[in-house]
Structure 1
């Protein structure tokens, strides 16, 4: 087991999965200071108990995130050993594919490279299921996610973890177009097969806990491989069924 609390950083900390992830990390004794860089303050900053371990930097210019992370990592009393990224947006929210690419691909790649340069040991990326299938891999969204995954692998972190969830369930500030109908169909699938439902969609809280659990296992030398891809069924196992952290 890690001899001292894990110092981590979370990118995408105000998003659906990222917000749950920050809460999970702040509540675990195995994790120490949690650094975040966001365009608006994370909600945990308003909680006196949770905020004790939170180092939140607000920076509206995302081009400054990677440089600011390197500065913070170098200046901290305890080096950042683990970085999580659940950064992502939608084409509609970004204003087109080109702008979405800047966030989903370019910014994630910049952060991964900054983390490697800062000596981070473990990098955890929340990607998406099915992006490498024959039908999907040529789509712009899949190319964004696959490009980030490939970069993380090429950088050669001591430990890389890629989570590939299906439909992410939870309350969003702005719902994805068409998601309501799909969620209703997936929700109805529970009555047919819980296992099928779990393979199709996962709660944001479960995905976040799976990311934290996987990073903890990695710190204990229990990751099955240096490049660990966690698919939907194992996300449910790590984040719900085996969650005892």
Structure 2
């Protein structure tokens, strides 16, 4: 009796050059059940042993590249900061507009599952630009007709970034101690999480097919890996 060969899931990854995207690529090395096809504006440094494709082009070309990826799941780890972007408008152009453009392109390419890296505290009614933008994106994505949409709301991400984020770096130093002090269920969602851990959650969820919209905060993400 011959063994059945199961095709690897194809994950179309946008945001491959960031902290989470890099962690997803790193973790995929040990996962023969997944294949990463990255879509990026520039070449992405790859770890030793990585087996994936990076399709490079300007954001205007992304719809064509996303279609060429023939993905089963769209993984969106796009994100910047107000400071890095330089203005409110430039920040929203990435964290809102580009995310939605990418998702629409994925739907047009026939991809019916998506995993979004959002943020703890995301709220379309928030007075905070960052959290309001994240909340608005989540709401808009829910209306695009994905068969399954997983929204991840991590707290502070721990890991080494390429770009300089002084406040975030300081937070990473304090985070492990602060996490020990957060026991109440309502506050545990604010706990930090290592980028590698979040990547493991993403890869695990990429194999889920039950339809619906699922929002994952700290405890839910921990349960995914149990």
Query: What's the TM-score once normalised by structure 1's chain length?
Result: 0.80
Give the 5 Å matches for 1:1-245: 3-32=6-35, 34-44=36-46, 47=48, 49-51=49-51, 54-59=52-57, 61-70=58-67, 72-73=68-69, 79-132=70-123, 137-190=126-179, 192=181, 199-216=190-207, 218-219=208-209, 221=210, 226-239=212-225, 242=226
The CA deviation string for residues 199-239 of structure 1, in whole angstroms up to 9 with x for no partner, is 410001111111111121x14x4xxx510111112223335
SS at match of 1:236: helix
Give the CA deviation at 1:85: 0.4
The CA deviation string for residues 24-80 of structure 1, in whole angstroms up to 9 with x for no partner, is 234312213x21111332222x63x323xx111222x2232233222x14xxxxx31
Match of residue 76 from structure 1: none
Question: What number of residue pairs does the alignment pair up?
Answer: 220
Give the CA deviation at 1:4: 2.6
**How many Å separate the matches in 2 of 1:12 and 1:120?**
17
Cα 1:177/1:96, change in 2 over 3 Å: farther
Q: Calculate the aligned-residue CA RMSD, in Å.
A: 2.4
**How many Å separate the matches in 2 of 1:108 and 1:199?**
23
- Runs of at least 4 residues of structure 1 off by over 6 A? 194-198
**Does the Cα contact within 8 Å between 2:11 and 2:75 map onto a contact in 1?**
yes
Cα 1:226/1:191, change in 2 over 3 Å: closer
**How many Å separate the matches in 2 of 1:128 and 1:143?**
10
**Does the Cα contact within 8 Å between 1:198 and 1:236 map onto a contact in 2?**
no
**How many Å separate the matches in 1 of 2:200 and 2:23?**
8
SS at match of 1:229: strand
**How many Å separate the matches in 1 of 2:220 and 2:90?**
32
Please, which runs of 5 or more residues in structure 1 have no aligned partner? 74-78
